[in-house]
Amino acid sequence: METLGKKRKGSEMLPSCRRSFSPITVVWPHLSLEDYSRQKRKCKEDEVLKVAVAFVTRVVKGIAIAPPCGSASLEPPNRGLKRKIGCIEAATQFGRKKKIEQDYDLGATIGSGKFGSVVLCRSKVNGEEFACKTLRKGEDLVHQEVEIMQHLSGHPGIVTLKAVYEDLKSFFLVMELCSGGRLLDQMAKERRYSEYHAANILKELVLVIKYCHDMRVVHRDIKPENILLTATGQMKLADFGLAVRMSNGQSLTGVVGSPAYVAPEVLTGHYSEKVDIWSAGVLLHALLVSVLPFHGDTLDSVFEAIKNADLDFENGAWRSISQPARDLVARMLTRDVSVRLTADEVLGHPWILFHTEATLGMASLETKMGNHEKPASPQLTVSPGVVSERSKMIPNGFLNDDSFLFLSSNSSSTRSEVQDSALVDALTVAISRVAISEPKRTRLCGPSGPIQQECSSNIKVNNNNNNLCTAF
């Protein structure tokens, strides 16, 4: 077995064609479905309280009435970059007339993937370093990647495209250099993240996903391998190789993505931008408990788990995770797409607000349940106005349910601070519980029997822990 973190993108060994290629007996979860299909072919041929209350209100009234899923359609195949390059900025157009070597010194390979390799490159003008991704021409998705990167470039959470060059065989995408590695590598080191940390990572990611969706783009391959970090640790979403533009009236089709992160509806037919929320939910699960939610020994068993396995929040590491965190994971990993949260709704979820809202302070909290990160510094501070507003809305009885309170362990904090904290958290949880008791939701992906402790080949078995699959 091999840990996910040790695997560099593109460094994966593709399954040998000498083996008989059967998804039933052989699984390569680190390969995207695209890789999988390609390999199959190859082998044949070679993102407080008001908002929180508003959140519940929307849920009860039917958040579930999520906006109609975006209708999406793929660009007609075989349209060349020429038409698409029309929307690409001048800085990237002139590059077509020059060779990349005239402007940049190309250096060492820093990554590789399904469509080509990524090398370090240095501007001959000012010595600035960039990453240059070479994409071999010939595949429609390659053309789409260039166009979509240009379309999205400029957002702080997306790798900036600096210039595009091309020759007869390839496109050369000069991008900002993310020298901090991949989130996956950080996860391999960190293993489990505190709820505070996980919530902040998820918020950053979902803000970018929201931007993509607002720009009518579905990424379709959200996973920690595709989240890069800058030297200062800023997260940047990368790899738009499987991304598609959406237009009204049509749903997306095409089985693409990476097996462990793929949404169930991708496997069964038509789908929407909500597939990115599912994948982000898988990532949140991994951040919180260091295990992928859906796994198996074969590709078929992974897909079977994605389609049918229930989440188990009662056992293992989940026992130390707060109810609001579990609530969010369940709402993101809900198979009923109409009920699955949108990016906006994830960003408005009480758990995200609690850990990331400025009015609540940037405290990291220790839960009574024993979340492993202790508050580093400031206690939770809540402005009196906010508290009184919250007090009005507390449902009777919830404060007595101390099993869900986040209580400060810092004795220097005043009684009222602790009470305020408890108030906020109890309410947050209460809200979540009200919402999750909605019949339609409990049916979906609710906690039930334990996940089968089978491991994908990219998940390390922890033999000291009842064969729990420990990812990363």
Ligand X SMILES: Nc1ncnc2c1ncn2[C@@H]1O[C@H](COP(=O)(O)OP(=O)(O)OP(=O)(O)O)[C@@H](O)[C@H]1O
Binding-site residues for ATP, in ranges, read 133
Q: In whole angstroms, how close is the CB of 118 to ligand X at the nearest point?
A: 4
Q: In whole angstroms, how close is the CB of 36 to ligand X at the nearest point?
A: 11
Q: Does 131 bind ligand X (CB under 6 A)?
A: yes
CB 348 within 8 A of CB 453: no
Chain centre to alpha carbon of residue 441: 22
Q: In whole angstroms, how close is the CB of 232 to ligand X at the nearest point?
A: 14
Q: Does 177 bind ligand X (CB under 6 A)?
A: yes
Q: Does 185 bind ligand X (CB under 6 A)?
A: no
Is the CB of 47 or the CB of 145 nearer to ligand X? 145
Q: Does 118 bind ligand X (CB under 6 A)?
A: yes
Q: Does 174 bind ligand X (CB under 6 A)?
A: no
Is the CB of 219 or the CB of 295 nearer to ligand X? 219
Check 103, 105, 140, 221 and give the catalytic one.
221
Q: What are phi and psi of 229, to 5 degrees?
A: -120, 140
Distance CA 106, CA 1 (A): 36
C-beta neighbour count of 450 within 10 angstroms? 15
Q: In whole angstroms, how close is the CB of 217 to ligand X at the nearest point?
A: 15
The DSSP code sequence of 254-311 is ---S-GGG--HHHHHS-B-THHHHHHHHHHHHHHHHSS-SS--SSHHHHHHHHHHPPP
Which residue from 66, 85, 178, 455 is in contact with ligand X, where contact means CB under 6 A?
178
CB 437 within 8 A of CB 444: no
Q: In whole angstroms, how close is the CB of 163 to ligand X at the nearest point?
A: 13
Structure token pair of residue 399: 């404060």
Which residue from 63, 159, 183, 427 is in contact with ligand X, where contact means CB under 6 A?
159
DSSP 192: S
Which residue from 175, 206, 329, 343 is in contact with ligand X, where contact means CB under 6 A?
175
Q: In whole angstroms, how close is the CB of 149 to ligand X at the nearest point?
A: 9
Q: Does 257 bind ligand X (CB under 6 A)?
A: no
Stretch that binds ligand X, among 172-180, 200-208, 365-373, 462-470 (CB under 6 A): 172-180
Q: Does 220 bind ligand X (CB under 6 A)?
A: no
Which residue from 143, 162, 182, 210 is in contact with ligand X, where contact means CB under 6 A?
182
Q: What are phi and psi of 253, to 5 degrees?
A: -135, 170
The DSSP code sequence of 102-114 is HHEEEEEEEEE-S
Stretch that binds ligand X, among 49-57, 113-121, 358-366, 378-386 (CB under 6 A): 113-121
Which residue from 81, 100, 114, 263 is in contact with ligand X, where contact means CB under 6 A?
114
221-250 positions binding ligand X, by CB under 6 A? 225-226, 228, 238-239, 241
User: What SS3 state is found at 170?
Assistant: strand
Is the CB of 205 or the CB of 468 nearer to ligand X? 205
Q: Does 10 bind ligand X (CB under 6 A)?
A: yes
Catalytic status, residue 221:
yes
Distance CA 390, CA 203 (A): 23
The H or E element that residue 173 is part of is strand 170-176
Q: Does 113 bind ligand X (CB under 6 A)?
A: yes
Q: Does 115 bind ligand X (CB under 6 A)?
A: yes
CB 281 within 8 A of CB 244: no
- Buried-exposed string 101-132: b where 16+ CB fall within 10 A, e elsewhere: eebbeeeeebbbbbbbebbbbbeeeeeeebbb
CA 344, 268, 441: angle at the middle one, nearest 5? 45
Q: Does 15 bind ligand X (CB under 6 A)?
A: no
Residues engaged in binding ligand X (CB under 6 A) = 9-10, 32, 110-116, 118, 131, 133, 159, 175-178, 182, 225-226, 228, 238-239, 241
Residues involved in catalysis = 221
